[in-house]
Amino acid sequence: MTMESYSLRHIFWFLVLATGRCETSSDSEVVLKMDEALLTIQNQMSYGLYVVYTSDYCYKCLYQPLASMEEAPGNVSVVVSTPFTLTLQVSSVNGSGILCGLSHLFEEAGHYSLWVKPGEAGLTYNVTCVISVDKFPNSTYLPLLVLTLVLVLLVVLWAFVPFGSRCSCTSKLIHCICCHGSQYTIKTEEATSADCMDRDKPKSSRLKSLDTLRGFSLTVMVFVNYGGGGYWFFQHAPWNGLTVADIVMPWFVFIIGTSVTLAFSSMRRKGVSRLQLLRKLTWRTVVLVLIGFCFINYSPRDGLLSWSWLRIPGVLQRLAFTYFVLSLMQTLSPHQDVPPKQTYWWSPVQDVLLYWPQWFFILLLEAVWLCVTFLLPVPNCPTGYLGAGGIGDYGLYPNCTGGAAAYVDRWILGDNIFWYPTCKAMYHTTQPFDPEGILGTINSVVMGFIGMQAGKILLFFRKRNNSITIRFVVWAIILGILAAILSKCTRDEGFIPVNKNLWSLSYVACMGCMSFALLGVMYFVVDIKGWWGGQPFIYPGMNSIFVYVGHSLLGFYFPFSWEMRFQDSHWEKLIQSLWGTALWLLVAYLLYRKRFFLKI
């Protein structure tokens, strides 16, 4: 869920961040924007030059034209992108080969010169390329550092308020002990202690850590959907690899699985029949699909509805289908209640063995994903291709973006899929690819089932906090090792690279490891030790549908966002992203105070 609520604004930022706009111009005419720098190519040779570039983040990509200089000597200025290191190659216009090359990480708003000079004694075959700084760049990460320190200060103040309240209770107690008689003191001590205990007493039996994790994920999702301050690592990765935006939706899917296990177990204990459960899960699935399809996928700003461009897949549609499959599995499972506490040789893994039909179904689903992904023949593409296509892989497979996943979507859904994938800007792809496509939904169900396993652990080992914590750690280690093996601990060279667009098996294993670790930490801190009440994330966590739909529909309207005036740095963009996120935290808090919770 970042969830993949793509918009024209996000597409624009990908176009800027991934490859930059390489425009030829003079220094006086250039107006640099965020994540852009000016490069002036100073040709001191006696012939014209041709300069090409590629981003080091782009895997095995063809070089792209940057500048062409017919006159010599002379100079030309181009705008280049700054998020990733660029590799430049200089050759002569007469095609005599590469003269020189270098890699450089340009910085925001900096002015640079690339000097192409002849070698010693004017030898034209010994060319030197040197980059100099004409104007020092901005400090790209200064806004992030300053606002992070401000947020840390606010967190410290937030934590100090309840601590001061507890100190107030303690001071009253000491005052009573010191200033009154023993009989009165005991009575007052009991009353004061009871007052303090009542103040700290939890008011709900809900698993606070789960609501906190849901709210934390939702807060990060709102922040990255509002632009993430324009920083590339708060946007989705162009293809393989992970950024902050890529880790949010799997957390939601994991939480769905955990919530399904806990909620359906509770309803079964209350005597709710399977037929009633089927009605409930069907109704919720239909509502989620309609919300995603009618409200998030389309808005009045898009004009008249046209089936020719309407996108069928979507974030809420995928979450709805995942919820439906997981709920159906839990409803039809023969083991509805926690078994009696009897010790058997298989007791340490009873939460797995007792649900072997579910495991068989999930393994069958994963086998389907593996077979279709690596064995399905795709016309004019290598079987098992997982690349981005376009100019990637040396341009050998330009129309093979996503391999079998995209082929299945086009075969079933036609052109009603996403035409602006995250790889489009950097890899110059021309084919549509939907990150919420059919094949990836299989692994979304697998991710949700991993979350169901966390719910079973919480049920089977209730009130045995050490056992719960140990099992969370064990599952995190197992999934982490699986992800490391499949990816070879690299971004692009693994057996199955970690890829959010494809929802690859290594991606699911990696996100499952992270989810178990994060939920385990929050469970220990929030539910076991009570060191933290989950604020402020627990508020949106208990009203997630309202916040998600609200921020998606109102994200472009004031006061959540406004037209930026200062687009040459990250300051205003970051402030806007944080402001919009903070407003939704405030809205969630006010709804929490009013006891208003939107449920489906």
Four-residue CA torsion sign, 465, 527, 245, 81? negative
C-alpha 221, offset from chain centre: 7
User: How buried is residue 595: exposed, middle or buried, by Cβ count under 10 Å (0-12/13-18/19+)?
Assistant: exposed
Whether the link from the prior residue into 559 is cis, omega within 30° of 0, is yes
Cα dihedral: 84, 315, 518, 354 (round 10): -140
Cα dihedral: 492, 498, 501, 504 (round 10): 120
As given in the structure block, the two tokens for residue 1 are 């869920």
What's the one-letter identity of residue 88?
Answer: L
Q: Which of 10, 111, 236, 570 is catalytic?
A: 236
Q: State yes or no: is 236 an active-site residue.
A: yes
CB atoms within 10 A of CB 477: 13
Cβ-based neighbours of 537, under 8 Å, separated by 6 or more: 212, 213, 215, 216, 218, 219
What's the one-letter identity of residue 465?
Answer: N
Contact 97, 91 (CB under 8 A): yes
Closest to 395 (Cα-Cα) out of 418, 429, 371: 429
As given in the structure block, the two tokens for residue 431 are 């084919």
Cβ-based neighbours of 76, under 8 Å, separated by 6 or more: 24, 40, 41, 43, 67, 69
Q: What is the 3-state secondary structure (H, E, C) of 30-51?
A: CCCCCCEEEEEEEECCCCCEEE
DSSP state at residue 543? S
Catalytic residues: 236
